[in-house]
Structure 1
């Protein structure tokens, strides 16, 4: 499957991200992924516009490979797959940043199917050409 790296973002692990078990709660990984997704969409001027068009998530998944704990910093790599008419797949890799400032081992990976929607009409819409051009060609 073709995937193209389009963005990386770093964010701190916050004290409140942990649960009673002393590690980052599984629901928080989805917040990390959401923040990375929105950061990329904003960077390409494609953030959701409730009065017009924008992306919505129709499904999401995450595999938890290693625990994350406070304190720390993570790097979330955002990758995208080929375009459909109105949708594309996004993928995310979450890595812990080491003391040397380098992102290390994979701690979680996940993704979501993104559908472009005309919000007032409540219907899917073709992906904008500017966004489509950023996505990899189908195999």
Structure 2
């Protein structure tokens, strides 16, 4: 399984009164990594994959240890743990080589902005996501594994 790696700079304004990154700011870090993963790495030159819109249906965050300001960016690793017909789950670790600060996951729903409703994951998107699927995923974690997904 491949992991998407995002190098996230820390900003002085990310700190709270206690001198560490505020818990709400971690959601922004996850968003930056997710956008980099889904939009910049979308398959194919000029591909419309993931560009039509998506919404976050759920976040789960476990704060493992405080992260304090420093000049070096923090590493965010992202991978896919579940691919459904019309949603996917992305897992993350915000970390340094020697320690993890946050473990999190986000359920993302592709969205048709023009129609104003969720849409199914396309075959091209699924193919891209499968490259980042966790090795421990079961067939139940992938809707239609081995079958074409309706666009």
Shorter-chain TM-score bucket reads 0.7 to 0.9
Task: Give yes or no for the alignment of 1:32 onto 2:29.
Answer: yes
Match of 1:118 in 2: 112
User: Offset of 1:29 from its aligned partner?
Assistant: 0.6
Q: Which is bigger in relative contact order (C-alpha 8 A, separation at least 6)?
A: 1
Alignment pair present for 1:77 and 2:77? yes
- Name 1:89's counterpart in structure 2: 89
User: Which of 108, 115, 131 does residue 125 from structure 2 map onto?
Assistant: 131
Partner Cα distance (1:64, 1:5) in 2: 24
Q: CA RMSD in A?
A: 1.7
Which residue of the partner structure matches residue 100 of structure 1?
A: none
Partner of 2:16: 19
Aligned length: 126
Instruction: Note if contact 2:61-2:102 (Cα within 8 Å) is conserved in structure 1.
Output: yes
Following the alignment from structure 1 to structure 2, what is the Cα–Cα distance between the partners of residues 118 and 108? Answer: 31
Relative to its length, the structure with more strand (as a share) is 1
TM score, norm. by length of structure 1: 0.82
| Structure 1 runs, 4 residues or longer, greater than 6 Å off | none
Give CA deviations for 1:25-57 in whole Å, capped at 9, x if unaligned.
000111110000000112233454xxxx23211
Unaligned runs of 5+ in 1: 97-102
Say if 1:138 and 1:82 are closer, same or farther in 2 by CA, change over 3 A: farther
Pairwise CA distance, 1:63: 0.8
Gaps of 5+ in 2: 43-48, 140-151
Report the equivalent of 2:58: 59
- Tell me, in whole angstroms, the C-alpha distance in 2 between the residues paired with 1:38 and 1:86: 18
1:99 is matched with none
